[in-house]
Amino acid sequence: MAVLSLAQLALAGVISLIAFLGYGSQYLFCYTQPGALDQRQSLLFNLLLFCTWVCYARACITDPGHVPRDWDTNVSLSWDSDLDAVSRHDRMRWCRKCENRKSPRAHHCKVCQRCIPKMDHHCPWTINCVSHRTFPHFFRFLFYSVTAMCYLEYLLYIRLAILFQNRSLPSYLGPTPVQMIFLFTFTITNSITLFALTVLLIRNIYTLGSNTTTIEGWEIDRHDTLVQRARSHGGYLDGPDGRRIRIQRQEFPYDIGIYANMKQGMGGVHFWAWLWPSASTPPNATGLDFETNGFEASSWTAKSDDLDPNTSWPPPDPDRIPRRQYNLADHHPFPHQDVSSNIDTQAFRERQRRDYLRFSSNNGDHELKHRVSTTRLSDLLSDESDIEDNGSDADDLDRKAGNKWRDQDGDRPDDFGVDEEVEYLDEDDLPLSEILKRQRAVRKGQ
């Protein structure tokens, strides 16, 4: 209930801010020079305000979408086929919480409690996910908000300029102290909000042109960090259980050209409808599969020994590699029969039981893929000079110390609404045969 109340408070705050700047300023203009807005100014400003209301409402109430079962018709046709005949190179992702295959670019939202197609982030100001279906409305809301506030800033500047020109006149010929307080309050509030939303709009224009989401931008930064770290380790990084994970640079596959990126991000409509407030919402089906640029496939053709032709996004991450499952039998506690009589059997059985519960769970839940120590970083280092200048050892020590990697802005996917507990429990790049087996098990359970 606390989270719900906070979300309602954020929604009420945005509505109050729009009403305060939009209608409160027009009321104030009636009592300050040069007077109320004329017909043309009033029509233009209220039209921008109306578009802002419409786009904000659609960004809040539009369903962000979901990943339906059997969303891939090519796979659903293989239900009766021989699973062993399915290619091992057809790799997919599986969401344990939804018990369903994840479509490309989908993430499990911790607030919506489901996988969202092409999830950008969960916006607290709209109490909704910004996704493939809601991003066009969210982008239009930012555009009309910034445009309306730019115009309001111009109208406020005219009145402030007149106030400065008449600064030598007696006070009774100018605005009252209350009117001056409200005039400066509107100016400061509008300027701060305009700056923040302008930065957000510019960022969204960039993501729209590059066909990336906020989460994918984090993944790209993470991949660049892993590639840089792997260079000093022969192209490999340490994964769980002593495994060596090969890290090589991978191009972002969904950048298909600026115009095509923008057209896809705005719902596939023509450019003259991109800013139309009543433009149709993209269908859910169009957010389940996306065109790729084929860079990785062409690289594999040139170097067939290095790259997988079905390389998927996001790239491999040692922190997301699952640990091996240890299936220990309770009725066989000792791997050897010649155990010394000096061993306290009961204490040994208790330690084994705890180890068994830590590495495998009887109720089907999975442990986190990494068990990191909570030892302070300073305890791991005997000398600060042990850290190399390239930062690779420092990253490894941060991981040993239990510190989660963050991008240059200090963000984690959890900050964008992604349920990291679920995402880190997801198994990436599962064979298609294993996916079909799990789907059959889910169907039988229903």
Provide the annotated active-site residues: 123
- Pull the structure tokens for residue 153: 């800033």
- CA 35 – CA 179 distance, rounded (Å): 13
**H helix runs in 166-236, sequence order:** 177-210, 214-231
Q: How is 366-383 classified by DSSP, letter by letter?
A: ---S-------HHHH-S-
**CA distances for 74 relative to 219, 289, 340, angstroms:** 28, 12, 59
Q: Are 293 and 253 in contact (CB under 8 A)?
A: yes
Dihedrals phi, psi of 121, to nearest 5 degrees: -170, 165
Q: Which residue spans within 55-172 are E strands per DSSP?
A: 91-95, 100-102, 107-109, 114-116, 121-123, 128-130
Q: β-strand 100-102 against 91-95: which pairing, if any?
A: antiparallel
Q: How is 395-424 classified by DSSP, letter by letter?
A: HHHHHHTTPPP--TT---GGGGTB-HHHHT
Compute how many other C-beta atoms are within 10 angstroms of the C-beta atom of residue 34. Answer: 10
Q: Which residue has the tokens 């990785």?
A: 296
Q: Are 279 and 136 in contact (CB under 8 A)?
A: yes
Q: Are 205 and 146 in contact (CB under 8 A)?
A: no
Q: Are 245 and 238 in contact (CB under 8 A)?
A: yes
- CA 287 – CA 202 distance, rounded (Å): 24
